[in-house]
Amino acid sequence: LPAGLSQWFPALEVLDVSGTGLAELGAELLALPRLHTLLAKNNRLGGPGSLPKGLRQAPLGHSLRVLNLSGNRFAEVPPALLGLRGLRSLSLGGNRLHGIPPDIQELRSLEFLYLGGNFITSIPPELANLPSLSYLVLCDNKIQSIPPQLAQLHSLRSLSLHNNLLTYLPREILNLVHLEELSLRGNPLVVRFVRDLTYNPPSLQELAGRTIKTRNVPYTPSDLPENLVRYLSLASNCPNPKCGGVYFDSCVRQIKFVDFCGKYRLPLMHYLCSPECSSPCSSASQSSTSQSESDSEDEASVAARRMQKVLLG
Amino acid sequence: MEQPVQTETWKARSLEELVRILHRIFAEDKISVEEVQALMESYESNPEEWLQYAKFDQYRYTRNLVDSGNGKFNLMILCWGEGHGSSIHDHTDSHCFMKILQGNLKETLFEWPEKKGNDEMTKKSERVLRENQCAYINDSIGLHRVENISHTESAVSLHLYSPPFDSCNTFDQRTGHKHKVKMTFYSQFGERTLC
């Protein structure tokens, strides 16, 4: 890029240097105070120094809203761009990313995040700390599981997960009430009822903790060592609404199928407090694989009806 | 559409001319698939002529009506952002022509699932359609999924459906189960339609 760029074009708002073979975006860009859209697709960016130093503090760091770096050679999300607090849209599609840094949560204004076509294997739960994220694309990667925290992305309208390595989804995904688009095709989603048989029996500490919680055995902080007081405060309620139980570390992972009126079955991972605790119809699911099997009227079936529209729309 | 009575070799030199010739062809009783496909392919995509119809949505692909063909056909432009794709769908007994105006689209053909089946649907073939190519499908050929597999480029396609239809079935690839859906237009004649 020419050295005098910010002097010649101080009012520049949109710059498209896509397909120009650039190996680095230099400091010439930093002093462009009105630049809100920078498109640099299909270049040779990705090495160290691809983005200019001091981006966060520069005028460009405050003005930039849209950054498209798709079709380059980034093997990691460049740390230099994590300081772009005003950034609304980021695309790193078609690069060589193997992961997403937890510090992605620093992009507080991010609404649109395109990471399709990389080699990403897992998603950090910190991604869920982006309060305005409405469009998340993770298709064509190597993702094996979705962290349940992703359900905290209340603004999410579209989630693209197709062509990954997912076998199930966390049941919390049903909490995404604004989700209108969800793509799951091309994942090895389990289709038959699966019960995780590697159940590690609870420790004595866990059993004692469960008893105290479910029987409401009274205690005060002076009765117990501090670490046990803290332990007791970490009890999780069993997600099965018909069970009043709690669990600490030991739980059963059960794949339950949420059946959308016999037309679509989505395997959702449930955490239950013990193998004996299971929703009334799961024993029915074990014996029958008929498509007319459906959820009992718990909150999952209400969310399921909503999700059907999303999945088949 | 049956065997051609007379097959013309048309050359549409602009989008406007394409629409005019289509009106003439569809005014006849007998229409040839090959003739329409050749006509669609003959039009060399010129973005200036269709940019007004090409309205993109960031979340999913859009359908933008260009011409309603006196009720005989619908001509529309579909805009596909990076990674956008359709479900597997049928064509409600209509003819469907799809011409690429910009970018590339991958078309995957599927067999019709068994009536009482519960199995993964069978892929017949797949191909990537390039700019100005025109594909044809109808229900007797099979079902298809269309997607923009590019992570860097958007795609624009020109579709002709005859007779026009506003609902079709979408299919779950893993089970073959179908589900009727209503289709809507994102814009009509260049104006955004809100629904």
Place A257 in a pLDDT band, splitting at 50, 70 and 90.
very low
In A77-157, which ranges are E strands?
Answer: 89-91, 112-114, 135-137
* Residue A170: predicted pLDDT: 81
Q: B13-67: per-residue pLDDT in tens?
A: 999 999 999 999 999 988 899 999 999 999 999 999 999 999 999 888 999 999 9
Specify binding-site residues of B for Fe cation.
89, 91, 144
- Res. B159 pLDDT band, cuts 50 70 90: very high
Backbone phi, then psi, for B52, in 5-degree steps? Answer: -65, -20
Considering only alpha carbons, which residue of chain B is nearest residue A313?
B181
Tell me which of A17-31, A182-196, A251-265, B45-59 is least confident. A251-265
- For A205-237, b where at least 16 C-beta lie within 10 A, e where not — what string? ebeebbebbeeeeeeeeeeeeeebeebbeebee
Pairwise pLDDT comparison (A93 vs A292), residue with the higher score: A93
Spell out the alpha helix ranges (H) of chain A: 5-8, 59-63, 204-214, 226-233, 282-287, 299-312
Does any CB of chain B come closer than 8 Å to the CB of residue A288?
A: no
Q: Do B152 and A41 touch (CB under 8 A)?
A: yes
Residue B75 has phi, psi (to 5 degrees) of: -115, 125
Supply the ipTM of this predicted assembly.
Answer: 0.89
Write the pLDDT tens digit of every residue in A52-61. Answer: 988 999 999 9
Provide Rg for chain A, Cα atoms: 24
Q: Is A313 close to B181, i.e. CB distance below 8 A?
A: yes
Residue A35: pLDDT band by 50, 70, 90 thresholds? Answer: very high
Phi, psi of B65 (to 5 degrees): -70, 130
Least confident of A10-14, A206-210, A262-266, B125-129: A262-266
Q: Which residue has the tokens 């909503």?
A: A306
Tokens read off for B123? 């892929």
Residue with tokens 């896509």, as numbered in its chain: A18
**Cβ–Cβ gap A157/B59 under 8 Å:** yes
Q: Give the nearest chain B residue to A135 (CA atoms).
A: B59
* Burial bucket for residue A281 (CB in 10 Å: 0-12, 13-18, 19+): middle
Confidence of residue A169 (pLDDT cuts 50, 70, 90): confident
Residue A220: CA atoms inside 13 Å, Cβ hemisphere, count? 1
> Distance between CA atoms of A253 and A271, rounded to whole angstroms?
5
Axis crossing angle, helix B15-27 with helix B33-42, rounded to the nearest 10? 170
Which residues in B lie closer than 8 A to residue A159 (C-beta atoms)? none
pLDDT band at A303 (very low <50, low <70, confident <90, very high): low
Q: E strand or H helix at A269, and its extent?
A: strand A265-272
Taking the model in full, what pTM does it have?
0.78
User: In B, which residues are within 8 Å of A140 by CB distance?
Assistant: 83, 149, 151
What's the pLDDT score for residue A105? 96
Checking if the pLDDT of B134 tops 90, the result is yes
Which residues of B are less than 8 Å from A42 in CB distance? 152
Q: Cα A182–B118–B139 angle (5° rounding)?
A: 75
Counting one residue from chain A and one from chain B, the pairs whose CB atoms sit within 8 A come to 68
- The reply to whether A192 touches chain B by the CB within 8 Å rule is no
Query: What average pLDDT score do residues A300-309 get?
Result: 56
The verdict on A122 touching B (C-beta cutoff 8 Å) is: no
Looking at residues B151-168, what average pLDDT do you find?
95
Residue A269 has pLDDT above 90, yes or no: no
CA distance B171 to A312: 8
CATH architecture of the domain A4-193 equals: Alpha-Beta Horseshoe (3.80)
Cis omega (within 30 of 0) for bond into A267 = no
Cβ–Cβ of B59/A264 closer than 8 Å? no
pLDDT at B23: 96
Is the pLDDT at B77 greater than 90, yes or no? yes
Q: How far is A71 from chain B (nearest CA, A)?
A: 6
Query: Annotated binding site of B, which residues?
Result: 89, 91, 144
With CB atoms and an 8 Å threshold, state whether B83 touches A70: no
The length of chain B is 195
A160 touches chain B (CB under 8 A): yes
CA-based Rg of chain B, rounded to a whole angstrom?
16
Residues of B contacting chain A (CB within 8 angstroms): 58-60, 82-83, 85, 87, 118, 149-152, 170, 172-175, 177-179, 181
Among B63, B82, B87, B173, most A C-beta atoms within 10 A, so best to mutate, is B82
Q: What is the pLDDT of residues A185-235, one digit of tens each?
A: 888 876 544 444 445 567 788 788 888 888 888 988 888 888 888 888 877
pLDDT at position A182 over 90:
no
- Residue range(s) in chain A whose domain bears CATH number 3.80.10.10: 4-193
Average pLDDT (B59-76) is: 94
- Amino acid A263: pLDDT: 38
**Could you tell me how far CA A136 lies from the centroid of its own chain?**
8
Q: Which residues of chain A make contact with B174, given a CB cutoff of 8 A?
A: 189, 191
In tens, the pLDDT along A78-99 reads: 999 998 999 999 999 999 999 9
CB-based contact B85 A162, cutoff 8 Å: yes
Q: What is the pLDDT of residue A273?
A: 56
Judge whether A45 and A24 are in contact, CB under 8 Å: yes
Q: Which of the residue ranges A11-25, A46-60, A267-281, B122-136 would you say has the lowest mean pLDDT?
A: A267-281
Cα A107 to Cα A127: distance, rounded to the nearest angstrom:
10
The pLDDT of residue A286 is 31
Can you read off the two tokens belonging to residue A286?
């074990």
Tell me the chain B residues in contact with residue A185 when contact means C-beta distances shorter than 8 Å. Answer: 173
> Considering CB atoms only, which of B60, B172, B178 is closest to A181?
B60
State whether B83 and A93 contact (CB < 8 Å): yes
A21 pLDDT above the threshold of 90: yes
Check CB contact under 8 Å for A137 and B58: no
> Is B136 or A297 the better-scoring residue by pLDDT?
B136
Contact A108, A85 (CB under 8 A): yes
H-helix or E-strand spanning residue B39: helix B33-42
Determine the pLDDT at residue A152: 92
Are the beta carbons of B152 and A157 separated by less than 8 Å?
A: no
Contact B174 A191 (CB under 8 A): yes
- Going from the N-terminus, what domains does chain B have, and what CATH number goes with each? 15-188 (2.60.120.10)
Q: What is the pLDDT of residue A178?
A: 80
Which of B159, B165, B186, B183 lies closest to B75 in space, CA to CA? B159
Mean pLDDT confidence for B155-170: 94
Determine the pLDDT at residue A241: 57
Q: Can you tell me the mean pLDDT for A23-45?
A: 94
Contact check, Cβ <8 Å, A158/B59: yes
**How large is the angle between the packed helices A204-214 and A226-233, nearest 10 degrees?**
60
Dist. CA A311–CA B181, nearest whole Å = 12
B85: chain A residues, CB-CB within 8 Å: 162, 183
Residue A292 has a pLDDT of: 27
Q: How far apart are CA A238 and CA A242, in angstroms?
A: 9
Which residue among B60, B87, B151 sits closest to A312, beta carbon to beta carbon? B87
Q: Tokens 């097959």 label which residue?
A: B7
Higher pLDDT among residues B30 and A117, named by residue: A117
Tell which wins on pLDDT, A238 or A189.
Answer: A189
Residue A163 confidence class, pLDDT cut points 50, 70, 90: very high
Contact residues for B106 (Cβ-Cβ < 8 A; gap 6+): B126, B127, B128, B129, B146, B147, B148, B149
Closest CA to B25 of B95, B91, B93, B92: B95
